[in-house]
Amino acid sequence: MLSVDFSFIEEFINNEQIKSIHGEIFKAHEKFHGNKVFEAIGWLNLPKEYDKKIIEKIINEAKAIRKNCDIFIIIGVGGSYLGARAAIEFLHSGNYNILENTPKILFIGNNISSDELFEIMQFCKNKRICVNIISKSGTTIEPAIAFGFFKNFLENIHGKDGARERIYCTTDLGSNLEKLAHKMGYKTFIIPKNVGGRYSVLTAAGLLPVAVSGANIKKIIAGALNALNFYSIFGKNLNNCYKYAAVRNLFYRQGKITEIMVGYHPKMHYFTEWWKQLFGESEGKDGKGIFPASAIFSTDLHSIGQYIQQGPKNLFETVINIKKPNHDLIINNSQNDFDNLNYLCGKTVNFVNQKALEATLLAHTNGGVPNIVLNLDSFSEENFGHLVYFFEKACAISACLLGVNPFDQPGVENYKKEMFKLLGKSNF
């Protein structure tokens, strides 16, 4: 269960200030629960309106994939990439591929790197692979290029019929990719049109890869449903999700223009990357928005820690504290105490990690950097689902508080238009 600790912001924002924007929060709340003004809110009730047949289909196909391949290749970028990767690393490890898991899972088509394509094709030689292309349109350039190479790769080895059995398409209904899949007989999963890319982790875009990793996707949805129930209520005491949105908006008004999302476990890196897209794309428009940065401590205390402690006071941090790792280890005495660490003898590694977290909260807050702390007990599927929904809802509310549309990304077209011109695409 998620609890949120706001005690480390008290010197920066008081309850009166939070109360002063209750009215704005209510207006934002009404945009989702009253007269609905946005189309792209399929994510809002997804955890309670899910089609059980689709969940069963995902689970069954994942079983087949786990049985039939050594390497599962996931092709996607942005919202068709970060959610699945965040989930797999959160629920297993950033070291997933060196663990004794089957199949290995590799992510491609999220860049335009020929080296990466080359290296991964080399690695896939003589191995049984399956490919999942995730692309709402089917025409995004990065996944389309990568899919071209891997479709050929499979057809050269297995022929068209064999390739057909190994290709899974996750896309919008009526997209070019969906049409191709239909024609070729590829297995297809549909992303609801009213769920935007960065809000799609709880659709097949995220759930098929996660199921292939062996995690329990029903529990993820149960966690999200639990969050939905908590964060759909507007009351005198703001729910934690709305309070988070309120506090970060008040910080922004105070000139705190960068939020650092902090985890204390390396397996949380891609969760923070997912969060950066969610908030950066939703809020960063019309000249507004909080800059979304991320860090994994204690690693990055040895990198940007100095800056946070003593640099300009225009930052705040949001810390996700997962209290229990999957495996803890007891620290032994070292040789002659050469490292001055014998006082830790008998303590566990995670005990030290928790103390590093508590110490950093004190040090950074004293240094003028407020911290919001999200506490969870473990890296469970339920907790992942809950966190995802918490941030999705908080992001939608936050963007409304800023006065921008949480669901569009008009600026992403700018570089694409320039690129199509330079590439000589017709009509550009």
For residues 376-415, which are near its own copies according to CB under 8 A? Answer: 409-412, 414-415
The tokens describing 86, both together, are: 């965040």
In this complex, which beta carbon is closest to its own copies, that of residue 50 or of residue 96?
96
The sign of the torsion formed by the CA atoms of 343, 347, 349, 352 equals: negative
Residue positions annotated with a catalytic role:
281, 302, 416
Which residues, other chains included, contact 378 with Cβ-Cβ below 8 Å and sequence gap of 6+? 322, 323, 324, 326
Binding mask 150-189 for its own copies (x = CB under 8 A): -xx-----------------------xx-xx--xx-----
Question: Whole-number minimum distance, CB 188 to its own copies, in Å?
Answer: 13
Question: Whole-number minimum distance, CB 114 to its own copies, in Å?
Answer: 4
- Binding to its own copies by residue 352, rule CB under 8 A? yes
- Binding to its own copies by residue 15, rule CB under 8 A? no
In this complex, which beta carbon is closest to its own copies, that of residue 94 or of residue 192?
94
- Binding to its own copies by residue 254, rule CB under 8 A? no
In this complex, which beta carbon is closest to its own copies, that of residue 197 or of residue 385?
197
What are the φ and ψ backbone dihedral angles of 23, each rounded to 5 degrees?
-65, -40
- Binding to its own copies by residue 127, rule CB under 8 A? no
In this complex, which beta carbon is closest to its own copies, that of residue 54 or of residue 257?
257
The tokens describing 220, both together, are: 């993820």
Q: Which of 159, 311, 346, 403 contacts its own copies by CB under 8 A?
A: 311
Range 194-253, binding its own copies (CB under 8 A): none
What are the φ and ψ backbone dihedral angles of 373, each rounded to 5 degrees?
-120, 120
Range 22-81, binding its own copies (CB under 8 A): 77-79, 81
Question: Whole-number minimum distance, CB 419 to its own copies, in Å?
Answer: 4
- Binding to its own copies by residue 284, rule CB under 8 A? yes
Specify the length of the chain in residues. Answer: 428
Q: Which of 164, 291, 375, 377 contacts its own copies by CB under 8 A?
A: 291
359-371 burial by CB neighbour count: b if 16+ within 10 A, else e? Answer: ebbeebbeebbbb
Rounded distance between C-alpha atoms, residue 306 and residue 360, angstroms: 12
Q: Which of 21, 44, 58, 117 contacts its own copies by CB under 8 A?
A: 117
In this complex, which beta carbon is closest to its own copies, that of residue 177 or of residue 208?
177
Site size toward its own copies, by CB under 8 A: 130
Question: Whole-number minimum distance, CB 265 to its own copies, in Å?
Answer: 5
Tell me which residue of 300, 350, 354 sits closest to 326, measured CA to CA.
Answer: 350
Rounded distance between C-alpha atoms, residue 291 and residue 284, angstroms: 8
Q: What angle in degrees, to the nearest 10, is found between the helix axes of 217-231 and 204-212?
A: 140
Q: What angle in degrees, to the nearest 10, is found between the helix axes of 114-124 and 141-164?
A: 20
Bridge partners for 107 per DSSP: 74
Question: Whole-number minimum distance, CB 336 to its own copies, in Å?
Answer: 7
In this complex, which beta carbon is closest to its own copies, that of residue 17 or of residue 350?
350
Q: Which of 66, 232, 331, 375 contacts its own copies by CB under 8 A?
A: 331
In this complex, which beta carbon is closest to its own copies, that of residue 24 or of residue 116?
116
Tell me which residue of 241, 195, 177 sits closest to 50, measured CA to CA.
Answer: 195
Rounded distance between C-alpha atoms, residue 26 and residue 317, angstroms: 25
The tokens describing 275, both together, are: 């969060």
